[in-house]
A and B are shown apart, each in its own frame.
Chain A
Amino acid sequence: TQLLEQSPQFLSIQEGENLTVYCNSSSVFSSLQWYRQEPGEGPVLLVTVVTGGEVKKLKRLTFQFGDARKDSSLHITAAQPGDTGLYLCAGAIVGNAGKSTFGDGTTLTVKP
């Protein structure tokens, strides 16, 4: 059983469209991170959310942490081809710092 479920697994959209990626779990996380990975490279940290209900914005990207700290979402406004990549959520379960669990990722393709 995957601890962190991401959906959708694949997403292909046109430039300018909006999209939302979800990360869900039955476990409570002390913090949750979102990463973006390009082929052949390591994931790059985008954001960390720590407080339940927290919303963080990074230019056209909006990240939200669920009130119960069990789920998170990533919303991209007016997607651009440069947003193409694998988006991964990861979390550390409460009391287990140092061990992150990753979702399977969402592969996003933005067509010009």
Chain B
Amino acid sequence: KAGVTQTPRYLIKTRGQQVTLSCSPISGHRSVSWYQQTPGQGLQFLFEYFSETQRNKGNFPGRFSGRQFSNSRSEMNVSTLELGDSALYLCASSSLRAGDNEQFFGPGTRLTVL
């Protein structure tokens, strides 16, 4: 079974631009979560989508948004990029079977904002 894939792996943008990151979950997984990881803040939860609906949201500004398609693939968008948005963005999928919250992560997208 193929794992979680994320594209692109690396991205360099300048302040004020916008960016869209893509995530394809494991086949059959309907929950997709996004995280931001930085050395200073650790792994911070952005949002979770389940069956095309945002079900949970972290404490990030409205510049961070996402969506999920009918095939469970997900995208996240960051508008008006700031230097502080430089981070590793991780996507994780879950089947949410039996009430556990096991997540399977993609390799991440390394975003650098100049």
Measured CB to CB, the residues of A under 8 A from B are 30-31, 33, 35, 40-45, 48, 50, 88, 90-92, 96-105
With A43-B90, A96-B56 known as contacts, the answer to whether A31 contacts B99 (CB < 8 A) is yes
Among B42, B103, B106, which residue has its beta carbon within 8 angstroms of that of A100? Answer: B103
Hey, which chain B residues are within 8 Å of A101, CB to CB? 45
The CA-CA distance from A19 to B4 in the complex, in Å, is 31
B76 CB to nearest chain A CB (Å) = 15
Tell me what chain B mostly uses at the interface: helix, strand, loop, or mixed: strand
With A50-B100, A88-B43, A90-B101 as given contacts, are A100 and B33 in contact (CB-CB < 8 Å)? yes
B residues adjacent to A (C-beta < 8 A): 4, 31, 33, 35, 42-43, 45, 48, 50, 55-56, 88, 90, 92, 94, 96, 99-108, 110
Report if A97-B107 is in contact (Cβ < 8 Å); known contacts: A43-B90, A105-B42: no
Q: How many whole Å from B87's CB to the nearest CB in chain A?
A: 13
Q: Assess whether B110 is in contact with A98, with CB atoms less than 8 Å apart.
A: no
> Once bound together, how far apart are the Cα atoms of A95 and B76, in whole Å?
26
Q: Which residues of B contact A43 (CB under 8 A)?
A: 43, 90, 105
Task: State how many angstroms separate the Cβ of B67 from the closest Cβ of chain A.
Answer: 16
Check if B99 sits within 8 Å of A104, measured CB to CB: no
> Which 6 pairs from chain A and chain B are nearest by CB?
A42-B105, A92-B101, A99-B56, A102-B43, A31-B100, A104-B42
- When A42-B92, A42-B107, A104-B42 are in contact, do A98 and B99 touch as well, CB less than 8 Å? no
Could you tell me the distance between the alpha carbons of A107 and B45 in the complex, rounded to whole angstroms? 20
